[in-house]
Amino acid sequence: MKILLLEPHMAPQQVEIGDGLAEMQAVVGGPIEAVYPFDESVALICHEEGKLLNLPLNRALRYPETGEIYDIIAGTCFLCAAPPDSEQFESLSEEQLARYTKLFERPEEFLNLDGQLICVLN
């Protein structure tokens, strides 16, 4: 399955992985969690306990209307297609790969300044 890999401090990478649970867990380094932050059927697959394990902060999720951050993904994650009529995750289309590569092209750094988390684009 063609996915978009998002690693902390790194540019997105288009890679191919198997579609089994073990392969997806290997990518994120443990148990997976699927979140659906987009208007289309695309899942963001991350480590289920990434924040609890203090994995490096990776990418911010933002409200599309305002750009305001509502969550931050910790640890390596990836994007894949999640068709509503399928029980399996699938490859992203070439158009989706291009669009999400552009959306996440600049890795983000997160700074804690006096208890306030600041997001800085690289």
Give the integer Cα–Cα distance in Å for 65 and 39: 12
What's this model's pTM, rounded to 2 decimal places?
A: 0.92
pLDDT of 109: 86
Give the Å distances, CA to CA, from 32 to 27, 29, 110. 9, 9, 23
Q: What is the pLDDT of residues 38-57, one digit of tens each?
A: 999 999 999 999 999 999 99
Q: Per-residue pLDDT tens for 56-101?
A: 999 999 998 998 999 999 999 999 999 988 889 999 999 999 999 9
pLDDT for the residue numbered 86:
87
The answer on pLDDT for 119 being more than 90 is: no
- What is the pLDDT, as a whole number, of residue 102? 95
The whole-angstrom separation of Cα 31 and Cα 118 is: 28
List of residues 6+ apart from 55 with CB closer than 8 A: 8, 29, 47, 74, 75, 76
Note the pLDDT tens digit of each residue in 3-24.
Answer: 999 999 999 999 999 999 999 9
